[in-house]
Structure 1
Amino acid sequence: MNQIPMTVAGAEALRAELKRLKSEERPKIIQAIADAREHGDLKENAEYHAAREQQSFCEGRIQEIEAKLSNAQIIDVSKLPETGRVIFGATVTAYNTKTDEEVTYKIVGDDEADIKQNLISVNSPLARAFIGKSVDDVAIVGTPSGDVEYEIVSVAHR
């Protein structure tokens, strides 16, 4: 299977979620199933069916996280030499020539992406346009409303 690029923070967040699911959620669900079974007839027991559905979701998420972590290529960008080039994990400040705004994004793995926190996926069109560029280079991003030019202002490895 393909390696999944992930930052150290993203891997830690997945490990924390996995630990929470296994140590807290799983026992709660098992107890809910046991309590629902005590109510008798399982065919018409909504609590039992809801708990089983919750168990299915929880187990599926555990398997998904374990698979992602086993295929993760964890990249600690702070340990890489700063070359001024945009790479995975770098924090990029760019100037949008169309709107005269400066924006700052950190390029992260797919699971870590959150535009509200300025974390963009390495597979997003914006990140793909930035990757490999250096300070003062222009990155052109194709959007539905036309091409947008960004001038790379700074690149940091944090």
Structure 2
Amino acid sequence: MYDELTAVDIQKMQEEIDHRILVLRPQYIREVQEARAFGDLSENFEYKEAKRQKNHNDSRIRYLQRMIKTARVVPVGHEGKGVGLFDHVTLYLPGDDETLQVQLVTTLRVNAGAGYISRESPLGRAIFGRRAGETVQVQVNAEVSYPAEIRAVERGEDDPSLPISQY
């Protein structure tokens, strides 16, 4: 299994890895050593918290390194007239009588609350490659689906200012 990411995604992940290794890791190691000096480790909250932060940082580094290693770099350019990566899409949901603005992004920059949806999400899969004026059926799961009309598609570009997702 691989994630489809852009060159900007890879660069942003590498920058975070570098920051975590060069800045945060030494800081967390220092905090663990200082907390250990307080004595009895079985009741030392500062020590346990420092270890937890250090382990979380190390886990995030491994996660990002694995993402980079297994990623498939995808081009950002548009191959057709349909909805592509980083395009802004205006949708009409007839069931809710609601208009929705979304932007198709890579899995690393998803923020559904802000309107950034993944190409791999049910809505993203339904609209990817489609054109304005088409009505698509969004299949959420085996029992649930809903129609969505693509009202407008505005070409977008990879925006390096979009943050990558944290966990």
**Unmatched tracts of structure 1, length 5 or more:** none
Contact 1:7 1:89 (C-alpha < 8 Å) held by counterparts: no
Give the aligned partner of residue 123 of structure 1: 120
Secondary structure, counterpart of 1:48 in structure 2 = helix
2 CA distance for matches of 1:156 and 1:105?
Answer: 12
More strand by share: 1
Contact 1:112 1:119 (C-alpha < 8 Å) held by counterparts: yes
- In the superposition, the TM-score normalised over structure 2's length comes to 0.77
Q: CA deviation at 1:15?
A: 2.5
Amino acid at match of 1:104: Q
Contact 1:139 1:149 (C-alpha < 8 Å) held by counterparts: yes
Amino acid at match of 2:4: P
Amino acid at match of 2:106: G
Contact 2:87 2:153 (C-alpha < 8 Å) held by counterparts: no
Q: CA deviation at 1:139?
A: 1.4
Q: Which moved more, 1:16-25 or 1:88-97?
A: 88-97
Amino acid at match of 2:24: E
Q: CA deviation at 1:66?
A: 0.6
1 CA distance for matches of 2:57 and 2:138?
Answer: 38
- In the superposition, the TM-score normalised over structure 1's length comes to 0.81
Q: How many residues align?
A: 155
Secondary structure, counterpart of 2:148 in structure 1 = strand
Amino acid at match of 1:132: G
Q: CA deviation at 1:60?
A: 0.8
Give the aligned partner of residue 12 of structure 2: 13
Q: Percent identical across equivalent pairs?
A: 24
What RMSD, in angstroms, separates the aligned Cα atoms of the two structures?
2.4
Give the aligned partner of residue 26 of structure 1: 25
Q: CA deviation at 1:17?
A: 2.2
Contact 1:25 1:58 (C-alpha < 8 Å) held by counterparts: yes
Secondary structure, counterpart of 2:14 in structure 1 = helix
